[in-house]
Amino acid sequence: MRVPDGRTKLVAGMMSVAAVGLLAATVARNTGGTVRAEIPSGTRLVGALDNTVSTARTEPGDPVRLRTVKSLELADGTTVPEGIVIEGEVVRARGGGRLAGAPELIIRFTALSLQGQRQEITADPLRVRGKNDLGESAALIGGGALVGGVVGALAGNTTAGVAAGAVIGTGTAVVTKGDQIVLPASQKLRVRLAKAVTVRFKPRARDRES
């Protein structure tokens, strides 16, 4: 058996140090490039609908997808980028009428994903209801009052539903046309987390610089 001389030991030692350094650099890139952040319970996420949801055409079990369009600033200074996909499903979709009563739409949200990382969530369900007395509802909204979780200006014909750009939250009452509730694609909905959720993502360049 050949005993390695001092030169061989030195070369082997240098190779070992290089290998350890390469591994450390890889771990540092993985650790430094990904941010782990907790979005606390009670946070309200605002996302735009990917597709139209209507009580006239939607059935329980149909999927619903929202996508956030603004970054989320957490209390610790972390910026969660926009593009969070919020997944849910229709639980109840009922049209209105003289016999059926007020139209109602209930959506339950079950998961979110960011940059391909999917997490299950617990969130308040979204309940959207019409009213039997159209005149009373139109007068209330037309008078400038905030009804339930509706935020933003409601312009134009109040009997046509929620205006573009408005945000709908839990327990919202809206005025609809034809005894149906119609939430068009790009309509913004507000989702309140009932339990904290941890997300992992790679920050954008402008977020790292801020």
What percent of the chain lies above the pLDDT cut of 70? 59
If asked whether residues 81 and 184 sit together in one domain, one would say yes
Over the stretch 147-177, which tens digit does the pLDDT of each residue have?
A: 333 333 333 333 345 665 677 876 666 656 5
Residue 129, pLDDT score? 79
Q: Domain for residue 1, yes or no?
A: no
Quick check: 118 and 105 in contact, CB under 8 A?
A: no
pLDDT above 60 (res 119):
yes
Query: Which domain CATH number covers 73?
Result: 2.40.128
Comparing 131 with 76, which gets the higher pLDDT?
A: 76
Per-residue pLDDT, averaged over 31-58, amounts to 90
Residues contacting residue 58 through CB under 8 Å, at least 6 positions apart: 90, 93, 105
On whether both 125 and 191 belong to a single domain, the answer is yes
Whether residues 93 and 107 share a domain: the answer is yes
Residue at token pair 């209801």: 129
29 shares its domain with 104: no
Residues 6+ away with beta carbon under 8 Å from 13 = none
The verdict on 20 and 99 lying in the same domain is no
Regarding whether 96 and 25 lie in a shared domain, the answer is no
Angstrom distances, CA of residue 108 to CA of 74, 122, 194? 24, 9, 12
Helix (H, G, I), strand (E, B) or coil at 39: strand
Domain residues for the domain of 89 are 39-209
Number of domains within the chain = 2
Residue 180 above 50 pLDDT? Answer: yes
Contact 169, 192 (CB under 8 A): yes
The reply to whether 83 and 166 lie within a common domain is yes
Task: Judge if 80 and 95 occupy the same domain.
Answer: yes
The model carries a pTM of 0.69
110 shares a domain with 81? yes
